């Protein structure tokens, strides 16, 4: 009778057990494990122990292999964050596996084997080790804050405490998928104006540095007693400045964007920029709707998953993506902590429209806050779709007109001396 090494999940205690048992076949070993109340993770026939001399050699080889692995893991490319899309796919797959009845450890093992991203593959291996050692899934996630944010960790912890981890993982996957879809639409809408702006800057640079100086040489012989038209002189002066101070111009542009980046990293600067973004023409309404949808979706998902309200508000504040909304959520947190309502600080922030405040008020009074927040999020997701479409249709003609005005102005400035010369010849 052969011996089989097994690794199985104890259904009653929730712990993972390892050991050996005698059986005539692997099928018999699986059946015996099920009779013992264990969910098999891995069952394989025990290999015969090698001779002493070979064992030492094998041990040495194994040690060398482990050292190589440790060197590979410590490479810079393997110690960063995980792409949002990859993390969303992982969450959805883990939710499907756990919903199908597969133990969490088995699900992580399966996903680790097929994962191509080196960072996530390493993290999944470490999560499996934590669970094998008797730790919880949320404890393992907390060891990787660069990969899993507070929202992810808190929802998983609430799911573990409530015994509904598979349900929470499914909600988390839905949340991440919807958030990624909205973010993708906004990015796609912003691609066109940014591309047009880059093209406009490139065209202006070429005209000012290479084309207009040629006209200046021609105009030097055509200048009469009245001189060039003021607008032509203005364009030629700009061209001369850009050409002779190309490095200074590039440095000035770099300094401008670096200043904006520096302001964005400071607390007050970030608040000012986020405030301007909310009230900026065309883009402002989209930013506002995205912020409201994210606030409602995050808070509703957390409360519905069993996360305490104060902890949920702290997570919403940290993941809001807008410091103005974060300040409003902080005011809500302080109000709830003092035993007051959510509505007053939301209204005082002037970020949330009356409809949202009214729906939150109704949800708070009826005790149906999670469902009400989900309705708000669904409504504003649709509003974001419509606003993005409207913004795209409006930005296209605006950017075309902008490009036409810039290039057209330069062309007109170059033709004005010729018109002057024709008028002078006609007068003579």
Other Cβ atoms closer than 10 A to 257: 9
Sorting pLDDT into bands at 50, 70 and 90, what band is 11?
Answer: low
Looking at domain 81-178, which of 1.20.81.30, 1.10.10.10, 3.30.70.260, 1.20.120.80 is its CATH number? 1.20.81.30
pLDDT in tens, 73-113: 333 344 467 888 899 999 999 999 988 888 888 989 989 88
In Å, how far are 50, 83, 101, 204, 245 from 53, measured between CA atoms?
Answer: 8, 47, 45, 77, 76
What is the C-alpha separation between 138 and 354, in angstroms, rounded? 38
Instruction: List 20's β-bridge partners, or say none.
Output: 5
What is the C-alpha separation between 199 and 403, in angstroms, rounded? 9
- pTM for the whole structure: 0.62
Q: Which of 30-39, 114-123, 175-184, 275-284 has the lowest mean pLDDT?
A: 30-39
Buried-state track 46-65, b at ≥16 Cβ within 10 A, e below 16: eeeeeeeeeeeeeeeeeeee
Contact 322, 287 (CB under 8 A): yes
Sorting pLDDT into bands at 50, 70 and 90, what band is 124?
Answer: very high
What is the C-alpha separation between 201 and 406, in angstroms, rounded? 10
- 363: nearest Cα among 394, 387, 342: 342
Q: Residue 383 pLDDT more than 50?
A: yes
Instruction: List 269's β-bridge partners, or say none.
Output: none
Q: What is the mean pLDDT of residues 369-398?
A: 85
Q: Which CATH superfamily is domain 181-428 in?
A: Type II secretion system (T2SS), domain F (1.20.81.30)
- 156: nearest Cα among 229, 25, 144: 144
What is the C-alpha separation between 309 and 307, in angstroms, rounded? 6
């Amino acid at each position: 009778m052969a011996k089989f090494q097994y690794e199985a999940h104890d259904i009653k205690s929730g712990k993972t057990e390892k050991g050996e048992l005698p059986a005539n076949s692997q099928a018999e070993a699986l059946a015996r494990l099920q009779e013992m109340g264990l969910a098999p993770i891995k069952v394989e026939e025990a290999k015969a122990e090698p001779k002493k001399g070979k064992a030492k050699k094998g041990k040495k080889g194994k040690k060398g292999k482990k050292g190589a692995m440790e060197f590979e893991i410590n490479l810079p490319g393997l110690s960063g964050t995980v792409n949002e899309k990859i993390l969303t796919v992982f969450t959805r797959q883990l939710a499907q596996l756990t919903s199908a009845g597969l133990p969490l450890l088995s699900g992580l093992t399966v996903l680790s084997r097929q994962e191509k991203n080196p960072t996530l593959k390493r993290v999944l291996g470490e999560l499996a080790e934590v669970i094998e050692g008797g730790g919880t899934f949320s404890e393992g996630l907390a060891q990787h804050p660069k990969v899993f944010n507070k929202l992810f960790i808190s929802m998983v912890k609430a799911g573990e405490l409530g015994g509904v981890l598979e349900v929470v993982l499914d909600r988390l996957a839905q949340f991440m998928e919807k958030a990624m879809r909205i973010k993708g639409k906004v990015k796609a809408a912003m691609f066109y104006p940014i591309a047009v702006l880059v093209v406009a800057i490139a065209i202006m640079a070429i005209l000012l540095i290479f084309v207009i100086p040629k006209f200046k040489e021609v105009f030097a012989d055509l200048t009469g007693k009245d001189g060039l038209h003021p607008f032509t002189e203005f364009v030629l002066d700009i061209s001369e400045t850009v050409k002779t101070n190309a490095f200074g111009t590039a440095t000035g542009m770099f300094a401008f964007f670096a200043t904006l980046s520096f302001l964005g990293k400071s607390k007050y600067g970030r608040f000012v920029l986020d405030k301007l973004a909310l009230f900026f023409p065309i883009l402002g309404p989209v930013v506002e709707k995205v912020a409201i949808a994210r606030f409602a979706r995050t808070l509703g998902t957390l409360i519905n998953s069993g996360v305490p309200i104060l902890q949920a508000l702290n997570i919403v504040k940290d993941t809001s993506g807008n410091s103005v909304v974060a300040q409003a959520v902080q005011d809500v947190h302080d109000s709830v902590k003092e035993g007051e309502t959510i509505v007053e600080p939301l209204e005082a922030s002037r970020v949330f429209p009356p409809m949202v405040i009214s729906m939150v008020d109704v949800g708070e009074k009826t005790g149906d806050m999670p469902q009400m927040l989900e309705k708000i999020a669904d409504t504003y997701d649709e509003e974001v779709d419509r606003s993005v479409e409207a913004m795209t249709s409006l930005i296209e003609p605006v950017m075309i007109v902008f490009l036409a005005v810039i290039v057209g102005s330069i062309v007109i400035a170059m033709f004005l001396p010729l018109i002057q010369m024709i008028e002078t010849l006609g007068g003579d």
